[in-house]
Amino acid sequence: MKNWKNTTDFLREIPLPEQTRTYKPVSHAIFIDEIKEELYKRGHSVKTERYLTANNGLIMTGNFTVDNPDSHINPAIFFTNSYNKMRKAELMTGAIVLVCSNGLIRQEVAHRFSKKHSGTVLEDLRNNIVLAVESVEEEFEKLKNEIFNGSVKSWLDAKNKFEEIVKKAPKKYLRILKSENSIGDHIYNSKNCINCFDAHEIEDAYNSASLGDSKDVYSSYSVGWPRSELIYYSSVVRSSQKCAFCKYIWQSSDLFYCDSCISCKNCFGCIGLKHKEYCILNKQYSQEEYLHLIAKIIAHMKSTNEWGKFFPQSISPFSYNETAAYDFFPLSKEEAIARGYLWKEAEKKDISVQSSTNDILMCDSCKKNYKLIVQELKFYKKKGLPEPVNCPNCRHKERFGKRNKYEIYKTTCNKCNTQIFTTFPPANGNVVYCEKCYQEDIN
């Protein structure tokens, strides 16, 4: 099979069916090239181009988003064509509004053209390409006035609309791409990752999250960047090998129960060391003494049932509700305390009033005070966004609530009933599809 450089090469090489008295097919290339040309003519540049094909390229759908560096709004032109009479020649202008990395496709259409492949279809299509590109500018202005006008109401209306669309849209069971034998979420270019989340270029990992370019990782968080290997029950490990029960380790190897060590080797229970070897509790030993002592320590820890576990909660410098663990696995104060975790009470200095000069604001949601700095205010003004009415913590909580937790549920595909694993809680009423159904539906 020929290895196409990209989809447009593939589409260009599909032979145009023969024209008859009544059937006037239009080349895919007209859509691919002439829309872009028209955009360039009017001073726009194309930010993204995307194509989907069906029936071996006899059907094509695609879209161009138009670059607009000063805003989240990207006007877009969508098009469809076919060489088998299954789809008309179609053109539509809308907009993709970016909310984080998600795209909201604006539902209202600024310009639409749809015509069977007959009669003056080619001429009409060309005229409509010009009109569609003209409407891109109008669409941008309209959106700016409707959504990004600095009003809380406009912003919330648009946000609610977007959330409704997201809620109804079918979801893919797990986000796993170019990976083999893996279960988890956001796993890319990886192999043998089980119960892993946010993993890129990972091989052989289990029960771990936030991983990049690493191998053999077990029950750990934030490993890699640069590559690390053989990491066990550890947190935040960079460019290191053979580390167990450690946290904040850089360019090191063969460490046990170490914290904040850089370029160290063969150390046990050390903190804050740099360029050291054969240390126990930050004390220097010879190689012989080190090996003898750690064998004794490990035997003792086994007898007290401490060996093989991460540092105990009792020595954590942070309370549970001020760590990232609380974001991923929220617990109530009572639950956290029952598990032996520390809990931080709200600070008394919060005055819970709005100052008359508006330099101290009060959160609509939790009633704590917060400030907005000049740079923030400038940013909101530039983007046409309203000033936030919630404190940074509440805003963080809201954003975080939008992503799925590090939890996998066993359920069935809403379309074909195949058994699937997913991070979408079945009780939330999401429509979740298996890989096959998702690909069919989206294409």
List interacting residues with Zn ion (CB under 5 A). 363, 365-366, 391, 394, 413, 415-416, 418, 434, 437
Hey, what long-range contacts does 330-338 have (CB within 8 A, 24 or more apart)? none
Nearer to Zn ion, 276 or 368 (CB): 368
Please give the C-alpha separations between residue 331 and each of 47, 348, 367, 382, in angstroms, as whole numbers. Answer: 43, 22, 21, 38
**E strand or H helix at 79, and its extent?**
strand 73-82
Nearer to Zn ion, 299 or 416 (CB): 416
Three-state DSSP class for 162? helix
Beta strands 241-244 and 253-256, pairing class? parallel
Q: Which of 439, 413, 434, 408 is nearest to 423 (CA)?
A: 408
Q: How far is the CB of 204 from Zn ion (least distance, A)?
A: 29
Q: How far is the CB of 173 from Zn ion (least distance, A)?
A: 9
Nearer to Zn ion, 63 or 390 (CB): 390
Nearer to Zn ion, 64 or 370 (CB): 370
Q: Is 403:171 a contact under the CB 8 Å cutoff? A: no
Q: How far is the CB of 324 from Zn ion (least distance, A)?
A: 18
Nearer to Zn ion, 103 or 392 (CB): 392
Q: Is 232:309 a contact under the CB 8 Å cutoff? A: no
Fill in the amino acid letter for 179: S
Alpha helices by DSSP H, listed for 314-416, are 324-328, 333-338, 374-383, 392-401
Nearer to Zn ion, 418 or 443 (CB): 418
Q: How far is the CB of 346 from Zn ion (least distance, A)?
A: 10
Sign for the CA dihedral angle at 19, 4, 170, 434 comes to positive
Can you name the residues that pair with 255 across neighbouring β-strands?
A: 243, 267
Nearer to Zn ion, 65 or 390 (CB): 390
Residue 190, classified by CB atoms within 10 Å of its CB into exposed (0-12), middle (13-18) or buried (19+), is: buried
Q: How far is the CB of 396 from Zn ion (least distance, A)?
A: 9
**E strand or H helix at 111, and its extent?**
strand 111-115
Q: How far is the CB of 53 from Zn ion (least distance, A)?
A: 22
Nearer to Zn ion, 275 or 367 (CB): 367
Q: How far is the CB of 397 from Zn ion (least distance, A)?
A: 8
Q: How far is the CB of 431 from Zn ion (least distance, A)?
A: 11
In DSSP notation, 259-275 reads: EEEES-EEEES-BS-BS
Nearer to Zn ion, 1 or 346 (CB): 346
Nearer to Zn ion, 293 or 366 (CB): 366
Q: How far is the CB of 369 from Zn ion (least distance, A)?
A: 9
Q: How far is the CB of 189 from Zn ion (least distance, A)?
A: 25
Nearer to Zn ion, 112 or 415 (CB): 415
Phi and psi for 14 in degrees, rounded to 5? Answer: -75, 125
Beta strands 409-412 and 369-370, pairing class? unpaired
Nearer to Zn ion, 243 or 391 (CB): 391
Residue for token pair 């379309």: 415
Q: How far is the CB of 43 from Zn ion (least distance, A)?
A: 44
Sign for the CA dihedral angle at 312, 314, 318, 319 comes to positive
In DSSP notation, 122-133 reads: HHHHHHHHHHHH
Q: How far is the CB of 272 from Zn ion (least distance, A)?
A: 35
State the Cα–Cα distance between residues 269 and 244, nearest whole angstrom.
11
**Helix, strand, coil proportions of the chain in percent (round to 5)?**
30, 30, 40
State the Cα–Cα distance between residues 260 and 267, nearest whole angstrom.
12
